[in-house]
Amino acid sequence: QGIPMELGEKMVVVGGGNVAMDCARSALRMNVKEVHLVYRRSEKEMPADHEEIEAAKKEGVIFHFLTNPTKILVQDGRVCGIEVMKMALSEPDQSGRCSVVPVAESEFVIETNHIIPAIGQQVELGFVTSKDGVELHPWGTIKVNPASLMTTRKGVFAGGDCVSGPATLVQAM
């Protein structure tokens, strides 16, 4: 059915991966006049493919790097904007990765009627308990035999992101 859009609307996509790029670029193709992409790290740290980022820029996506949402603004029961805050990169930790820290009093508002969160995914495993006999990896995915995809419980199989972690559709297939 799609998202009802009227020409001239603004949209905000939150995230920095390929899904965020796809959402932003698709919105422009659906005649959204202005698409803003909010990402809490710098462009250098974006997980999206470089080609996807460059294509989004060429198509007119407005990037807000080192910016993180703090509040969704609502008026009369409808989204009317998103409050965001500037972020700064900290010194690298032992792994070499910098974390992000908020910049005091740097909040600003992007007016919008639509917000798409495209900020990653996590496997929901609340239905699996230790008494089920299905073991999990320490990083939160289901252990399976890679040849058969059978879990540690005989007759129970798993596949896709709950086994591999977040992946592309092609990898999951």
Greater model confidence, 167 or 35: 35
Which residue, 3, 18, 126, is CA-closest to 136?
Answer: 126
H or E stretch covering 162? helix 161-164
The fraction of the chain above a pLDDT of 90, given in percent, is 60
Cα dist from 134 to 4, 121, 124, 139, whole Å:
42, 21, 14, 15
The single-letter DSSP state of residue 87 is: E
**Band of the pLDDT at 110, cuts 50, 70, 90?**
very high
Of the candidates 62, 64, 53, 66, the one whose C-alpha atom is nearest the C-alpha of residue 22 is 53
Residue 30: phi, psi to the nearest 5? Answer: -95, 20
Mind listing the pLDDT tens digit for each residue in 131-144? 888 998 887 889 99
pLDDT of residue 73: 95
The pLDDT of residue 8:
54
Nearest one of 83, 118, 112, 110 to 10, comparing CA atoms: 112
Per-residue pLDDT at 150? 94
Q: Which of 25, 84, 21 is nearest to 47 (CA)?
A: 21
Least confident window among 113-122, 151-160, 164-173: 164-173
Q: Check: CB of residue 157 under 8 Å from CB of residue 149.
A: yes
Q: What is the mean pLDDT of residues 86-111?
A: 91
